[in-house]
Amino acid sequence: ESWVSNTVALGMLFFVLLLKLIWYFVLDKVEVATVIGLFDVVSNSYVSQDCGGVSLLYGCGGWILMFLGWILFMTICVVLEIVRGCD
């Protein structure tokens, strides 16, 4: 089987969707705190806005990072298959 065959691609897609469902149901009660202003007090400690932005990127935008990683992976597979076929 090659990386871009239907069986492998559907298996990877199923695996990613399964992980997403598990992540959604297990981490359903996790809350993301937003940072308003330059500094905010969270649990008696100061959090600057740049650290809050990074946590929001991975918290709220995690699905887009996974999607873009999948696109990058598939692009690399396609390029490698094209280069392998050229003599």
**Pairwise CA distance, residues 33 & 49, whole Å:** 11
CA distances from 53 to 24, 43, 47 (A): 21, 18, 10
Q: What is the pLDDT of residues 10-65, one digit of tens each?
A: 888 899 888 888 877 777 665 555 545 545 555 555 555 566 666 766 777 777 88
Total-model pTM: 0.36
Hey, is 41 helix, strand or coil?
Answer: strand
